[in-house]
Amino acid sequence: MSKLNEQANGVYIISATPFTDHGELDLASADSLIDFYLEKGVSGITILGMMGEAHKLTEEEALSFMQRVLARVNGQVPVVVGVSHASHRHVERLAKTAMDNGAAGVMLAPGPNLATDPQVENYYLSVAQLLGNEVPICLQDFPQSTRVHTSVPVMLRLIEALPQIVMLKHEDLPGMRKLSQLRSQSEALGLRRISVLVGNGGLFLPQELARGADGAMTGFAWPEMLVQVCQAYAEGNPGHGEDIFDCYLPLLRHEFQYGIGLGLRKEALRRRGAIKSAAVRQPGPVLDRIDLQELSGLMARLERKLADKGLN
């Protein structure tokens, strides 16, 4: 299995973790979900992130899901595994387990209560030392959830100090200028160009691709859109990419609601046949009748638009 590197691009889909209606891990749906993602053309898969409800799994469940996914993917695309944990030694342990099981790299958000640049920098330096050079790391910069802010200078210093950092999941909001600054300052300093994949559901994907992102790492329930948009930009056809993006934007924006968004996303995956149940582990969003109708309305509008444009 090849390791994650700085050339990674395209769509690394953030995978949901499927449960049965009773909240048990649903490994059969893990298989069908992976098949769904691969059919849609994703370049990689990220599991056990926040959207994957990793914090609601036991360690045993997490391991069993990871092994099932890795077996199903079977080397077709790289799999990145989330290993964020409150304790350094458990980040180390989770990362070792992931790599031993065939992961291509790990994703790491900063620990809680880091309030200044030196604190954030030291966090990553300490953890990276434990993990060693052989574990490729994707930094997750998602302050809306972690409450930790990673400045551009900190990122640049980390890129310089730690060769194992090969990717950034860029998810600050607003964050477009940050992305531009990272690219321009990194180049001005002659640093390695790492892979930057964007999150936030892809809400600013076209603009971010134009500003130097290499793709998306997010969990939108229509991954084919993310794939097509990234492809259009890669082929030098941004206008076409933006046309496709705009068709899906009403739904994308709809999924982009913290909390209930995960419920909507799983319901969409269910309707699309990717998983059997849309259940989210409690406490978590449960969709009501209005939510379901609203989603149906938006999905019907998408179908019509794609048909109108000959994009379906």
Nearest to 179 by CA among 196, 160, 165, 199: 196
For residues 245 and 267, give the distance between their C-alpha atoms in angstroms, rounded to a whole number.
21
Q: Which of residues 109-148 bind a copy of itself (CB under 8 A)?
A: 111, 113, 115-119, 123, 126, 143
Q: Which two tokens stand for residue 259?
A: 């909390």
Report the residue number, 118 or 273, with the smaller CB distance to a copy of itself. Answer: 118
Nearest distance, CB of residue 19 and a copy of itself, angstroms: 10
Kindly state whether residue 97 participates in binding a copy of itself, applying the rule CB under 8 A. Answer: no
Alpha carbon 33 to its chain's center: 15
Nearest distance, CB of residue 146 and a copy of itself, angstroms: 12
Nearest distance, CB of residue 93 and a copy of itself, angstroms: 8
Range in contact with a copy of itself (rule: CB under 8 A) among 28-36, 228-236, 246-254, 267-275 = 246-254
Nearest distance, CB of residue 183 and a copy of itself, angstroms: 11
Range in contact with a copy of itself (rule: CB under 8 A) among 40-48, 52-60, 95-103, 214-222 = 52-60
Report the residue number, 68 or 183, with the smaller CB distance to a copy of itself. Answer: 183
Nearest distance, CB of residue 35 and a copy of itself, angstroms: 27
Q: Which two tokens stand for residue 34?
A: 């992976």
Q: Which of 2, 86, 188, 310 binds a copy of itself (CB under 8 A)?
A: 86
Q: Which of residues 287-306 bind a copy of itself (CB under 8 A)?
A: 288, 290-291, 294, 301
For residues 62 and 66, give the distance between their C-alpha atoms in angstroms, rounded to a whole number.
6
Report the residue number, 191 or 210, with the smaller CB distance to a copy of itself. Answer: 210
For residues 183 and 42, give the distance between their C-alpha atoms in angstroms, rounded to a whole number.
24
Q: Do 171 and 162 form a contact (C-beta atoms < 8 A)?
A: no
Length of the chain: 312
Nearest to 100 by CA among 86, 81, 121, 73: 81
Please give the size of the binding site for a copy of itself, defined by CB under 8 A.
59
DSSP state of 259: T
- Calculated CA dihedral for residues 148, 262, 226, 290, nearest 10 degrees: -130
Nearest distance, CB of residue 297 and a copy of itself, angstroms: 8
Print burial letters for 187-221: b (CB count within 10 Å at least 16), e (below 16). eeeeeeebbbbbbbbbbbbbbbbbbbbbbbbbbbb
Nearest distance, CB of residue 55 and a copy of itself, angstroms: 4
Would you tell me how many other CB atoms lie within 10 Å of the CB of residue 60?
Answer: 9
Report the residue number, 70 or 154, with the smaller CB distance to a copy of itself. Answer: 154
Q: Which of residues 176-215 bind a copy of itself (CB under 8 A)?
A: 176-177, 180, 203-204, 207, 210-211
Those residues whose C-beta lies under 8 Å from the C-beta of residue 196, and which sit 6 or more positions away, are 167, 168, 170, 179, 182, 183, 212, 213, 214
Q: Which of 2, 58, 188, 236 binds a copy of itself (CB under 8 A)?
A: 58
The residues of the shown chain that bind a copy of itself, judged by CB under 8 A, are 23, 53, 55-59, 86-90, 93, 111, 113, 115-119, 123, 126, 143, 149-154, 173-174, 176-177, 180, 203-204, 207, 210-211, 242, 245-246, 249-250, 253-254, 257-261, 281-283, 288, 290-291, 294, 301
